[in-house]
């Protein structure tokens, strides 16, 4: 089958789901067929990653850092109350999408950002679509969301709707129309993965939002498969408040993040500390050579003086010194006190350091690289499974919503056939992975690690823990592990472990077949 979206499908399972939709389309009602068309469109699009979290947790700042461009308004303005989707486009363009489906082009502000104020009635705005040429967006669509826990009920409901938590607001009265009704729209509109932003305190509504998301994104318990969390604003943590930090900010952040990970379990696998503000400045061109010069000037100051200035933002900007107050304010906005202090240290260690190397040092200090890597491993490697699972959930929901029992049956039968295919095994593997990662099924640590390795990598060498090994060795190893897991499933495992073990056994078996036939 050839359709435009298939060239970009995430993998074999997405391909099977796409084929299912194509095949069924002529056999179902116009309304269901319209839903399938939407499912197909989404299957072919990059993974939809929502950046979610409490108000002012630094979501938009992190979005800018990830895209590598300061484009999402931060701090104030109407836009922080709206959902903005950043997707790849061949020309930079921003559109306001209204609730009635109408669209209006929105010119960029003079600083290249999406204007903070839209100049339209915000009550009638559904969301903003930003098409950008940045290459990162070819791999994923990033969705900036308004803060949860804000006082503004409208923006909360916009986010919850996007995350799939919305109640179906009204029953549709347009029976027979080809338009998607709310049920279908919600079924196909939910984000597929979430980057959850928390700051120092994890509260009840953080848990709630994550729970709502995981419940909505997959027909099965999804958990750590499609959610990762970051502890943002790591620079603002007072190390004295964290036992065992030894006064080190990053160590304190790491310890705190570990604690939060246990609180947020099983919704997320772990929590990575990050400093979004520094990452944004380093990645989006915000940190300039003039800023590097200013850091060099500050590095010349007497250390006692500098340490005093770094006690608070007020002292830093109001202290009498040779670096102009305006310059200091600018540094503070881009790096905050921790970033300034870190930058000065880098200069002192290496007085000849270039602006580029300084930018690189700041980026390293921000923790963004680890977040990117995690995104790549967790989301990119699992995109096929995640997208296919989301698409199947939508297809199921569309069938459920259908008034025709024969149509419902036809769709369910087709799904059954699909689930029996070898490529559908990765859905079961994702499920097993979730059970193990969340601790719902207890496994000895080395076995847990093995399950995670097999389930989290796209490359066979990496799945087998033997990257780059020759094929015969990979085949032999896969076969050996397949046998081991089969006997573990039969002897020595608890019933829950046994179910996981069967899935892992089959995963190894399929890997063995693949390597053997390659």
Ligand X SMILES: Nc1nc2c(ncn2[C@@H]2O[C@H](COP(=O)(O)OP(=O)(O)OP(=O)(O)O)[C@@H](O)[C@H]2O)c(=O)[nH]1
Residue nearest to ligand X (CB): 147
For ligand X, which residue of 233, 328, 387, 502 counts as binding (CB under 6 A)? 233
Nearest distance from residue 144's CB to ligand X, in Å?
Answer: 7
For ligand X, which residue of 35, 46, 68, 147 counts as binding (CB under 6 A)? 147
Kindly list the distances between the CA atom of residue 409 and the CA atoms of 173, 184, 396, 400, 415, in Å, as whole numbers in the listed order.
Answer: 25, 18, 11, 10, 10
Kindly list the distances between the CA atom of residue 38 and the CA atoms of 139, 492, 516, in Å, as whole numbers in the listed order.
Answer: 20, 47, 38
User: Rounded distance, CA 384 to CA 43, Å?
Assistant: 9
The answer to the question of residue 199 lying near Mg ion (CB under 5 A) is no
The answer to the question of residue 60 lying near Mg ion (CB under 5 A) is yes
The answer to the question of residue 57 lying near ligand X (CB under 6 A) is yes
Binding mask 59-98 for ligand X (x = CB under 6 A): xxx------------xx----x------------------
For ligand X, which residue of 14, 141, 232, 456 counts as binding (CB under 6 A)? 232
Q: Select from 225, 202, 223 the least CA-distant residue to 214.
A: 223
Nearer to ligand X, 16 or 366 (CB): 366
Q: Taking CA 461 as the corner, what is the angle to CA 458 and CA 464, rounded to the nearest 5 degrees?
A: 95
Nearest distance from residue 115's CB to Mg ion, in Å?
Answer: 14
The answer to the question of residue 341 lying near ligand X (CB under 6 A) is no
Q: What sign results for the dihedral spanned by CA atoms 152, 158, 162, 167?
A: positive
The answer to the question of residue 402 lying near Mg ion (CB under 5 A) is no
For ligand X, which residue of 33, 55, 212, 458 counts as binding (CB under 6 A)? 55
Q: What are phi and psi of 397, to 5 degrees?
A: -65, -40
The answer to the question of residue 56 lying near ligand X (CB under 6 A) is yes
Sole window of 51-59, 154-162, 191-199, 469-477 interacting with Mg ion (rule: CB under 5 A)? 51-59
Tell me the three state secondary structure of residue 288.
Answer: coil
Nearest distance from residue 79's CB to Mg ion, in Å?
Answer: 7
Strand partners, 105: 95
Site for ligand X in 438-497 (CB under 6 A): none
Nearest distance from residue 59's CB to Mg ion, in Å?
Answer: 5
Show the 3-state SS of 129-175.
EEEECCCHHHHEEEEECCCECCCCHHHHHHHHHHCCCCCCCCCCCCC
Beginning with the edge strand found earlier in the chain, give each strand of the sheet holding 271-273 in spatial order: 103-105, 93-98, 125-132, 84-88, 140-144, 47-53, 193-198, 227-231, 271-273
367 binds, among ligand X, Mg ion, none (CB under 5 to 8 A by kind): none
Tell me the three state secondary structure of residue 237.
Answer: coil
The answer to the question of residue 276 lying near ligand X (CB under 6 A) is yes
Q: What 8-state DSSP symbol labels residue 193?
A: E
Nearer to ligand X, 146 or 164 (CB): 146
Nearest distance from residue 366's CB to ligand X, in Å?
Answer: 8
Nearest distance from residue 103's CB to ligand X, in Å?
Answer: 23
Nearest distance from residue 285's CB to ligand X, in Å?
Answer: 16
With CB under 6 A, what is the number of residues at the site for ligand X?
Answer: 20
For ligand X, which residue of 235, 270, 291, 431 counts as binding (CB under 6 A)? 235
Q: At what angle do helices 276-283 and 355-366 cross, to 10 degrees?
A: 150
User: Rounded distance, CA 185 to CA 57, Å?
Assistant: 29
Q: Select from 486, 385, 483, 470 the least CA-distant residue to 431.
A: 385
CB atoms within 10 A of CB 52: 28
The answer to the question of residue 57 lying near Mg ion (CB under 5 A) is no
The answer to the question of residue 330 lying near ligand X (CB under 6 A) is no
Binding mask 256-275 for ligand X (x = CB under 6 A): -------------------x
Nearer to ligand X, 237 or 294 (CB): 237
Nearer to ligand X, 59 or 387 (CB): 59
343 binds, among ligand X, Mg ion, none (CB under 5 to 8 A by kind): none
75 binds, among Mg ion, ligand X, none (CB under 5 to 8 A by kind): ligand X
CB atoms within 10 A of CB 293: 13
Which ranges of 367-404 would DSSP assign to H, the alpha helix?
Answer: 368-374, 383-401
Sole window of 51-59, 134-142, 292-300, 323-331 interacting with ligand X (rule: CB under 6 A)? 51-59
User: Rounded distance, CA 228 to CA 372, Å?
Assistant: 11
Nearer to ligand X, 19 or 236 (CB): 236
The answer to the question of residue 145 lying near Mg ion (CB under 5 A) is no
Nearer to Mg ion, 79 or 478 (CB): 79
User: Rounded distance, CA 448 to CA 379, Å?
Assistant: 19
Sole window of 12-20, 50-58, 221-229, 492-500 interacting with ligand X (rule: CB under 6 A)? 50-58
For ligand X, which residue of 35, 44, 46, 58 counts as binding (CB under 6 A)? 58
User: Rounded distance, CA 86 to CA 59, Å?
Assistant: 13
DSSP string, 30-98: HHHHHHHHHHHHHHHSPEEEEEEEBTTSSHHHHHHHHHTS--S--SSSGGGGS-EEEEE-SS-EEEEEE
The whole-angstrom distance between residue 138's C-alpha and the CA centroid of its chain comes to 14
With CB under 5 A, what is the number of residues at the site for Mg ion?
Answer: 3
Site for Mg ion in 63-82 (CB under 5 A): 80
Cβ burial 471-501 (10 Å sphere, 16+ → b, else e): eeebbebbbebbebbbebbeeebeeebebbb
Using CB under 6 A, list all residues that contact ligand X.
Answer: 55-61, 74-75, 80, 146-147, 232-233, 235-236, 275-277, 336
Using CB under 5 A, list all residues that contact Mg ion.
Answer: 59-60, 80
């Amino acid at each position: 089958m050839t359709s435009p979206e298939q060239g970009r499908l995430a993998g074999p399972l997405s391909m099977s789901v796409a084929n299912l939709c194509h095949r069924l389309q002529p056999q179902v009602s116009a309304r269901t067929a319209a839903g399938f068309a939407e499912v197909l469109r989404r299957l072919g699009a990059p993974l939809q990653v929502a950046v979610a979290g409490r108000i002012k947790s630094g979501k938009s700042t992190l979005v800018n850092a990830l895209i590598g461009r300061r484009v999402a308004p931060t701090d104030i303005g109407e836009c922080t109350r709206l959902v903005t989707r950043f997707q790849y486009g061949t020309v930079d363009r921003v559109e306001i999408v209204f609730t009635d489906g109408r669209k209006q082009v929105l010119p960029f502000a003079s600083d290249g950002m999406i204007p903070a104020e839209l100049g339209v009635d915000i009550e009638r705005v559904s969301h903003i679509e930003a098409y950008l040429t940045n290459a990162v967006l070819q791999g994923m669509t990033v969705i900036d969301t308004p803060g949860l826990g804000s006082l503004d009920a409208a923006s909360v409901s916009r986010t919850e709707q996007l995350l799939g938590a919305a109640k179906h607001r009204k029953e549709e009265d347009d029976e027979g129309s080809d338009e998607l009704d709310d049920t279908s729209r919600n079924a196909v509109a939910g984000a597929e993965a979430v980057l959850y932003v928390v700051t120092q305190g994890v509260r009840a509504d953080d848990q709630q939002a994550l729970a709502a998301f995981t419940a909505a994104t997959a027909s099965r318990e999804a958990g750590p498969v499609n959610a990762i969390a970051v502890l943002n604003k790591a620079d603002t943590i007072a190390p004295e408040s964290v036992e065992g930090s030894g006064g080190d900010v990053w160590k304190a952040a790491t310890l705190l993040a570990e604690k939060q990970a246990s609180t947020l379990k099983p919704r997320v696998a772990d929590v990575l500390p990050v400093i979004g503000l520094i990452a944004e400045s380093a990645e989006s061109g915000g940190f300039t050579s003039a800023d590097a010069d200013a850091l060099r000037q500050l590095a010349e100051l007497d250390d006692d003086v500098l340490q005093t200035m770094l006690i608070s933002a007020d002292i830093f900007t109001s202290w009498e010194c040779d670096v102009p107050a305006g310059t200091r304010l600018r540094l503070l906005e881009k790096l905050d006190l921790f970033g300034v202090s870190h930058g000065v240290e880098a200069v002192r260690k290496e007085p000849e350091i270039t602006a580029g190397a300084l930018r690189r040092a700041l980026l390293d200090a921000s923790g963004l690289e680890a977040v990117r890597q995690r995104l790549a491993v967790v989301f990119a490697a699992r995109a096929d499974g995640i997208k296919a699972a989301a698409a199947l959930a939508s297809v199921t929901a569309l069938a459920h919503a259908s008034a025709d029992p024969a149509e419902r049956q036809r769709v369910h039968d087709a799904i059954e056939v699909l689930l029996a295919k070898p490529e559908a095994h990765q859905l079961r593997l994702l499920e097993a992975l979730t059970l193990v990662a969340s601790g719902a099924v207890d496994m000895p640590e080395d076995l847990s690690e093995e399950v995670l390795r097999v389930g989290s990598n796209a490359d066979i060498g990496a799945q087998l823990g033997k990257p780059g090994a020759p094929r015969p060795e990979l085949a032999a190893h896969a076969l050996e592990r397949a046998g081991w897991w089969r006997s573990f499933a039969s002897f020595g495992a608890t019933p829950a472990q046994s179910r996981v073990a069967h899935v892992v056994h089959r995963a190894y078996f399929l890997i063995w077949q693949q390597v053997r036939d390659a």
